[in-house]
């Protein structure tokens, strides 16, 4: 009896294994072979597309439709249009809510099953068009089915789970029938001695009966377990259906469904959301474009358009009668900006005072000598008189230079006309000689200093045009000024003059420089705003494949003119690429 107990355990384990691998059976019209829905269902809608227009009508209440009418190529709302909605012989005039949005209220919209609708358009220019579609439910997106193991693919059970269940059930049933029909015919004693089984009329030994009954009871329990598994299988399917029924549904009064990201990476974005986020597209066109190279640069003032004001000697800052110059003030060349009151240390002041006193004493002494010489003209040679006079003049000039040093106010003037862009001066501030007080920039001419590495610097000789892109996205034309022969941080330095002025420019602002060459490259030109980074970090664009479906596409690009890029791989002609609202689409989860 103890030897056969593991056999029952093995049979029971095989039974449970077969039940766990068995597929959930479909019932009452449900196909449980399909993947479980991942996202919320969407409201019933009708989609109608023509080469010029794209229309989506969504149920937004009982007997009510909200209709969105956009241009097919650009996804822009159609302005100034009127619409009539018809179903058979019944029709109603749609009420415009805003540009490209209409509302339709009619009791005949609430019908069971699909409803064929005709949308008659009359555009602002007087032309007319018809769009047709069927109003009905839309299948919810679902999770992609799990990939079966390589073993089941080899044995041929992929896509046919009923064969796997039948094989397992057959194996377990054979083992159970063998145990039930033949497991109790021979006793352990007879088997050990090699004796023949007893005749039908011979009573069994009590020990043999004890061996047969537990084995049959174990096999019978396994049979009952399998029967319960088979009978309870529909309950598993019912439990799965109950879990699906707990998914929230879209309210009947809601015209906007939720944007959803599918398991394959594509997006479902309702037309109402596209309208709200101003999603715009463009039709791609193949062709050739100029090959370009990008450099990094910094805005700087022109060589003659930058002035720096420094203090000539130590002193204290004083304001002018008009006030102290400030940042942003427009000044002219030679205009007074501030005063620097000379400041001298006490020891130096004492030395200067003594020199002044000594000089004045010598001046008085020479004046007395000269006056005596002049009392008796001719008594003293004229050479002596001229020497005294010359010494008096030299001492006077010396005193004039020493006196201002102790009480002198030096004016600070503007070296060029322009805007004060830096001010380091405040009233009462003590400054030293050569301290920078003000910096003045003439905005009439600004330059760009570009930094090139390796092959980027070699693109300058073949340059046909150059542009600078500031952080706000403004494109500015450049004119090449020259290239230095000394490397700075292993980068060659080139300078360009900015031909287009813009108020957003400032000295020190980083810019991106695009240098176009005569070489051509094949590809599709798209705006730079259409490129975003995907989940893998690669550059991608979003392609509109349907009225409410968007698909990511990895691309390879080269620069063109700062505002546009050339896609050399990943796009073809006549694709609808999203150009505005790309970052918002990329955030949908």
Q: Which CATH number belongs to the domain containing residue 321 in this structure? A: 2.40.50.100
Q: Quick one: 369 and 414 in the same domain? A: yes
| SS3 assignment for 309-341 | EECCCCEEEECCCCCCCCCCCEECCCCEEEEEE
Q: Which of 134, 159, 185 is where one domain is finished? A: 134
Q: Quick one: 503 and 437 in the same domain? A: no
Q: Quick one: 160 and 12 in the same domain? A: yes
Along the 589 residues of the chain, how does pLDDT read in single tens digits?
A: 444 445 555 455 454 444 444 444 444 333 434 433 436 778 888 999 999 999 999 988 888 899 999 999 999 999 999 999 999 889 999 999 989 999 999 888 887 778 899 999 999 998 999 999 998 776 654 444 444 444 444 444 444 555 555 666 666 666 666 665 555 444 444 434 444 444 444 444 444 444 444 545 555 554 454 555 444 444 444 444 444 333 333 333 344 688 888 888 889 999 999 999 999 999 999 889 888 888 889 999 999 999 999 988 888 999 999 999 999 999 999 999 999 987 766 666 677 778 888 888 888 888 888 888 888 777 888 888 888 888 888 988 888 877 766 667 889 999 999 999 999 999 999 998 899 999 999 988 999 999 888 766 667 777 888 989 888 888 899 999 988 888 888 888 999 999 988 888 899 999 999 888 888 889 999 998 899 998 888 999 999 999 999 999 999 998 888 888 999 999 999 999 999 999 999 888 8
For residue 495, what are the CA distances in angstroms to 216, 295, 443, 446, 492? 98, 12, 17, 11, 10
Q: Quick one: 82 and 209 in the same domain? A: no
Q: Quick one: 492 and 561 in the same domain? A: yes
In DSSP terms, which residues pair with 452 in a beta bridge?
492
Q: Is residue 208, in this structure, part of any structural domain at all?
A: yes
Q: Is residue 254, in this structure, part of any structural domain at all?
A: no
182: helix, coil or strand? helix
| SS3 assignment for 226-276 | HHHHHHHHHHHHHHHHHHHHCCCCCCCCCCCCCCEECCCCCEECCHHHHHH
Q: Quick one: 437 and 451 in the same domain? A: no
Question: Rounded to an integer, what distance in angstroms lies between the CA atom of residue 136 and that of residue 112?
Answer: 9
Residues 544, 589: contact at Cβ < 8 Å? no
Q: What pLDDT is attached to residue 387?
A: 87
As for how many domains the chain has, the answer is 4
Q: Is residue 325, in this structure, part of any structural domain at all?
A: yes
Q: Quick one: 434 and 497 in the same domain? A: no
180-183 long-range contacts (CB < 8 A, ≥24 apart) are 180/216, 180/219, 180/220, 180/223, 183/4, 183/212, 183/215, 183/216, 183/219
Task: Check which CATH number belongs to the domain holding 582 and give it.
Answer: 2.40.30.170
Q: Quick one: 486 and 573 in the same domain? A: yes
In DSSP terms, which residues pair with 469 in a beta bridge?
475, 512
Q: Which DSSP string corresponds to 61-84?
A: STTEEEEEEEETTT-PBPPS-EEE
Q: Which of 415, 441, 467 is where one domain is finished? A: 441
394: helix, coil or strand? helix
Q: Within 13 Å and on the Cβ side, how many CA atoms surround 430? A: 3
Q: Within 13 Å and on the Cβ side, how many CA atoms surround 160? A: 9
Domain that holds residue 82: 45-134
Q: Is residue 115, in this structure, part of any structural domain at all?
A: yes
Q: Quick one: 459 and 545 in the same domain? A: yes
Q: Is residue 234, in this structure, part of any structural domain at all?
A: yes
Q: What pLDDT is attached to residue 280?
A: 94
Q: Is residue 572, in this structure, part of any structural domain at all?
A: yes
Q: Is residue 358, in this structure, part of any structural domain at all?
A: yes
Q: Quick one: 27 and 172 in the same domain? A: yes
Q: What pLDDT is attached to residue 381?
A: 85
Q: What pLDDT is attached to residue 258?
A: 85
Q: Quick one: 311 and 434 in the same domain? A: yes
Q: Is residue 465, in this structure, part of any structural domain at all?
A: yes
Element at 404 (helix H, strand E): helix 382-406
Residues 531, 541: contact at Cβ < 8 Å? yes
Q: Which of 419, 441, 463 is where one domain is finished? A: 441
Q: What pLDDT is attached to residue 400?
A: 80
Q: Quick one: 484 and 582 in the same domain? A: yes
Q: What pLDDT is attached to residue 449?
A: 94
Task: Check which CATH number belongs to the domain holding 123 and give it.
Answer: 2.60.40.760
């Amino acid at each position: 009896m103890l030897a056969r107990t593991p056999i029952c355990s093995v049979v029971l384990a095989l039974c449970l294994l077969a039940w766990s691998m068995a597929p959930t059976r479909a019932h009452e019209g449900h196909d449980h072979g399909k993947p479980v829905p991942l996202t919320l269902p969407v409201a019933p809608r009708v989609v109608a597309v023509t080469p010029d227009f794209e229309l989506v009508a969504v149920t937004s209440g009982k007997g009510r439709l909200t209709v969105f009418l956009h241009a097919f190529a650009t996804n822009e709302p159609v302005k100034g249009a009127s619409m009539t909605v018809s179903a058979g012989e019944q029709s109603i005039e749609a009420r415009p809510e805003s540009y490209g949005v209409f509302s339709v209220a009619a009791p005949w919209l609430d019908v069971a099953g699909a409803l064929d609708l005709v949308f008659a358009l009359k555009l602002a220019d007087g032309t007319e068009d018809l769009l047709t579609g069927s109003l009905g439910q839309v299948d919810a997106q679902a999770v992609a089915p799990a990939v079966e193991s390589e073993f089941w693919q080899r044995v041929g059970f992929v896509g046919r789970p009923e064969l796997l269940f039948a094989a397992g059930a057959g194996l377990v049933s054979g083992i159970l029938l063998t145990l039930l029909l033949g497991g109790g015919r021979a006793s352990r004693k007879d088997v050990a001695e090699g004796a023949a089984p007893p005749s039908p009329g011979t009573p069994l030994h009590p020990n043999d009966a004890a061996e047969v009954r537990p084995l049959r009871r174990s096999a019978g329990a396994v049979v009952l377990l399998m029967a319960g598994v088979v009978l309870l299988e529909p309950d598993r399917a019912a439990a799965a259906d109950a879990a699906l029924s707990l998914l929230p549904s879209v309210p009947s009064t809601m015209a906007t469904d939720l944007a959803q990201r599918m398991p394959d990476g594509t997006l479902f974005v309702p037309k109402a959301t596209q309208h709200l986020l101003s999603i715009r597209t463009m039709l791609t066109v193949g062709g050739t474009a100029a090959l370009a190279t990008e450099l990094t640069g910094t805005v700087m003032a022109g060589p003659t358009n930058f002035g720096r004001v420094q203090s000539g000697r130590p002193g204290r800052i004083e304001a002018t009668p008009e006030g102290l110059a400030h940042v942003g003030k427009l000044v002219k060349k030679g205009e007074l900006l501030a005063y620097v009151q000379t400041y001298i240390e006490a020891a130096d002041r004492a030395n200067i005072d003594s020199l002044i006193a000594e000089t004045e004493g010598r001046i008085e002494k020479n004046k007395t000598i000269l006056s005596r010489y002049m009392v008796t003209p001719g008594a003293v040679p004229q050479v002596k008189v001229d020497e005294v006079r010359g010494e008096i003049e030299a001492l006077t000039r010396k005193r004039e230079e020493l006196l201002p040093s102790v009480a002198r106010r030096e004016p600070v003037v503007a070296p060029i006309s322009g805007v004060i862009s830096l001010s380091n001066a405040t009233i009462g501030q003590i400054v030293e000689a050569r301290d920078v007080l003000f910096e003045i920039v003439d905005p009439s001419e600004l330059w760009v200093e570009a930094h090139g590495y390796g092959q980027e610097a070699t693109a300058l000789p073949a340059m046909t045009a150059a542009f600078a892109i500031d952080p706000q996205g403004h494109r500015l034309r450049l004119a090449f000024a020259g290239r230095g022969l000394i490397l700075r941080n292993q980068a060659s330095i080139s300078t360009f003059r900015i031909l287009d002025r813009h108020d957003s420019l400032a000295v020190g602002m980083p810019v991106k420089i695009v240098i176009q060459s005569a070489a051509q490259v094949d590809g599709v030109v798209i705006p730079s705003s259409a490129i975003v980074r995907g989940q893998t970090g690669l550059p991608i664009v979003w392609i509109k494949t349907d009225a409410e479906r968007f698909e990511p596409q990895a691309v390879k690009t080269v620069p063109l003119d700062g505002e546009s890029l050339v896609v050399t791989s990943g796009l073809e002609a006549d694709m609808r690429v999203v150009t505005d609202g790309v970052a918002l689409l990329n955030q949908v989860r």
